[in-house]
Structures are given as structure tokens and as C-alpha cells.
Amino acid sequence: MRVGNKEYRTVWMKGKTVYMIEQNLLPFRFKIFQSKEHLQTAHAIKTMIIRGAGAIGAAAGYAMAQAFIEAGENGFQEYIEKARVTIESTRPTAQNLFYAVERVYHAGKTSVSAAIKEAEAIADEDACASQQIGIFGNELIKDGFRIETHCNAGWLAFVDYGTALSPVYVAHKSGKKVFVYVDETRPRSQGARLTAWELKNEEIPHVIIPDNAGAYLMSKGKIDIMITGADRIAMNGDTANKIGTFEKAIVAKEFGIPFYIAAPTSTFDLACPSGNNIIIEERSQDEVIYAEGPDEKGKIRKIKLCSPGSEAFNPAFDVTPAKYISGIITEKGIIPPDTIFIKKLFGL
């Protein structure tokens, strides 16, 4: 995607260094974060310098490749095993992370160069899959459609193109008139900060709405379709995504509004029977209690939003049961959220 006059991927590797867009600074500052070793890259994943299913996966693959580069001959296997545990512990709900680490780990058993090559392949596949998701998803969007999305599943959340926003980009470029209602997505405000920033860059009409305004808009007939991304999809079609997605799906079902998940096949967990088996990451209460943003002089400041002394509970994701999902948009086509169709998708 283009920022200013330059094309960027969300994350890439050159030599031993992993480069990524520093998403904690957006939309107020655009900066490239440089990670020179795997512990730095793992920390960037955990602290959400990089975020989003595909971007996390690509960064994790690069981190695993960095570990192979760093490991000396003495204690090589011990170093690699420890690095793998460290990387996989950063974001436990994100399936793409485990998918990428597994692939690079096994490739690295052949050689360090094979690990690097595999990490690059994962990133390239992620970008291609996202592009195809846009093509298939565009078929669902009619001229004049009003689309609601939750959290950020744009190009910042993947290596390029994105998932939930990819069909929107294709529809817009094809000449369709679309309007996007952007859920703010508290507590990290990925919608208000990242999705809105992306849509503004693409000159796509949109408005930021409070997370709890979706039901009101749907009840007034102002939403034609809802598309979100996913962090893990179980074999029965149950889907984990940013906290609040489940609520949106229930309301969409109530008002007969199509609710779609957009995700590459790398987000499916073939070892996970249902949503009951998905581990839900719980993050620091500080994300709920505090917020960051620039003051009138542009300096980033942290302010308290909540009652002093009160504690907060901060689950990062929830699981939407398959019965609330109209379909899953993948790079191989749109499928029903059903075990039979998921098995066919993978040739099982």
C-alpha cells in the first residue's frame, strides 16, 4: 500500500533486521521500527508494535528465522527451542503466529537460508491471499453498500491488502460507491486509529462510530453488510476475533444483515474442533484504564479514563459461533462456516 509517495508492506526483512510499521504511533506519526534480533521482534508482537493476524504471522516467521541466524553451533538446538517458546507465547490466540513459526522451524532444520526463504514465502503468500480475498469479497458488495467493520483487518493487519478491508478496496477501485462505518474498537481503538487512517488514505467515505452504536444503525436499516477479520477459525466454523465481534454478529442476525468473516486459510486451526478450544488472550488492564494520544503541541501523552482505584478486565478476543456467520471469505473462495466445507477447503 502507498503512504505518501512510497509503497510499503506492513513488515519485511532485510539481512538480519526485521522492519515493521510502528502501529502504536499511528495515526499521529508514521515510523518504521527496526528489530535486529528475535527477542526484539517477539517484544514488538507482544506490545502490538505490529498487530493483526497476518502481520503477526509474518513477523513471527521472521523472528523464527532471526533465531536461526543468531544461534551458534554450541547449544544450537537449545537456542532454537527456547526462541520458539518465546515467540509463540507473545499472542496465544493468533493462529497465523503458530502457523508461521511451525513452518520456519521445520525449514530451519535444513539450513539457516531455508528458514529465511520460508519466512519470506509466508509473507508473500499472506499478501497474495489477501489480494484474492478482496477479489472474492468484492462479489458480495453492491454499488451503494454501507459496510460496517470491527477492529482493523486492513493492510496494516496483514503484509498487504488486508482481509475485511480488501473487498472494500477492490469495490472502491472498481467504481462502486461504498461507505464504511468504522467501529472504534476499544480499548486499543484499532478501528478509530488504524482502519480510519487507512480509509482516509484511500479516500473512501467513512465515519467512526462508538462500538455500541452498531445495533442502532442496523435497526435503522443503515448497514447492508458487515465484514470482519479473524484471528483463529475452528474446524466447525466458530471464529475468534477482536472482543465485541460476537455482539455484532448477534445483532446482525437479528436484523437479517449478512455477517462475513474474511481470512486466509492460514488462520484456520485444523487441530481445533470448536470455539470452546480457542485460548482467549487477556491483556493488561491498563489498556482499558488509560489512553494515549497527542496534546495540542503534538506530544504523545497518557491519560487515565476510569475511576481511580477501580480494576478492569481486558479479554482481547471473543468467539462468534458459526451459526451467526453468513460465510467465510478466503483466498480460495467463499465457503459456509461448516466442518464439511472447511474439510473440502483443505482437501480432507
Q: Residue 150's pLDDT is what?
A: 98
Mean pLDDT by 10 residues, the chain (348 residues): 89 97 95 97 97 96 97 89 97 96 97 97 98 98 98 96 98 98 96 97 96 97 98 98 98 98 97 97 96 87 94 97 98 97 96
Sign of CA dihedral 103, 14, 58, 173: negative
Q: Residue 25's pLDDT is what?
A: 93
Q: Residue 63's pLDDT is what?
A: 98
Q: Please give the C-alpha separations between residue 325 and each of 95, 129, 145, in angstroms, as whole numbers.
A: 19, 21, 19
Catalytic residue among 183, 231, 238, 269: 231
Residue intervals in the chain for CATH 1.20.120.420 = 2-130
Q: CATH: 3.30.2420.10, 1.10.3720.10, 1.20.120.420, 3.40.630.10. Which one for 2-130? A: 1.20.120.420
Burial of 102 (0-12, 13-18, 19+ CB in 10 A): middle
Catalytic residue list contains 231: yes
Three cell numbers, residue 253:
442476525
Q: Residue 298's pLDDT is what?
A: 82
Q: Residue 225's pLDDT is what?
A: 98
Q: Residue 296's pLDDT is what?
A: 85
Residue intervals in the chain for CATH 3.40.50.10470 = 140-345
Q: CATH: 3.30.460.80, 3.30.465.10, 3.40.50.2020, 3.40.50.10470. Which one for 140-345? A: 3.40.50.10470
